[in-house]
């Protein structure tokens, strides 16, 4: 029997505890999960360099043996096909997330009919947490502890230049 590989794509700028929760839950459902970090999202300029985002995710998920983290710079379905994935896993916090993801699912299905999209609803404690919200809180020196992994808190402390929006 072949392995079931899932891709969890995103910008992870920064990774939040909501992201970590979804990835851990996906790891319980699939044999292998590849967290795919988009190098340069088309819709925004990332605050955190891609190598740092990959490292922060790696540290946050180091205890999950069937999860790996890789950057990518092409269509997510092309990346998924190269990795032999059968699914894309996406977390949903609110109806507004679903509207965007629903459109993307149809486009991805057109490009790669063999790859399914699996949606995982956000766990209650993380339903309000977004990377953009974290960036804004951090920019004003607010406490992001309890919303992001400790390594992300440390990254913002060690990179005070990131406190500009």
List 40, 44, 106, 163, catalytic entry? 44
| Active-site annotation holder among 4, 24, 93, 109 | 93
In the residue annotation, 93 being an active-site residue is answered as yes
As given in the structure block, the two tokens for residue 160 are: 């005070």
The contacts of residue 4 (CB under 8 Å, 6+ apart) are 30, 31, 32, 86, 87
Q: Which of 11, 19, 53, 135 is catalytic?
A: 19
Based on the residue annotation, tell me whether 44 is a catalytic residue of this protein. Answer: yes
**Is residue 163 flagged as an active site residue?**
no
Q: Respond yes or no: is residue 19 known to be catalytic.
A: yes
Q: Which of 11, 60, 122, 131 is catalytic?
A: 131
| Residues in contact with 108: Cβ distance below 8 Å, sequence separation at least 6, in sequence order | 76, 77, 88, 115, 117
Q: List residues with catalytic annotation.
A: 19, 44, 93, 131
């Amino acid at each position: 029997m072949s392995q079931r590989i899932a891709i969890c794509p995103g910008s992870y700028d920064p990774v939040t505890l909501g992201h970590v929760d979804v990835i851990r839950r996906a790891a319980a459902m699939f044999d292998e999960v590849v967290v795919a970090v988009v190098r340069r999202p088309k819709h925004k300029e990332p605050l955190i360099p891609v190598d740092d985002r990959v490292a922060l995710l790696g540290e946050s998920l180091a205890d999950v043996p069937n999860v790996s983290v890789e950057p990518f710079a092409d269509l997510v379905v092309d990346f998924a096909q190269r990795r032999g994935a059968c699914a894309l896993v996406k977390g949903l916090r609110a109806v507004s997330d679903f509207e965007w993801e629903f459109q993307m699912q149809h486009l991805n299905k057109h490009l790669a009919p063999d790859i399914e999209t699996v949606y995982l609803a956000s766990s209650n404690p993380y339903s309000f947490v977004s990377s953009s919200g974290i960036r804004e809180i951090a920019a004003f020196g607010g406490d992001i502890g309890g919303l992001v992994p400790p390594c992300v808190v440390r990254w913002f402390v060690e990179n005070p230049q990131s406190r500009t929006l």
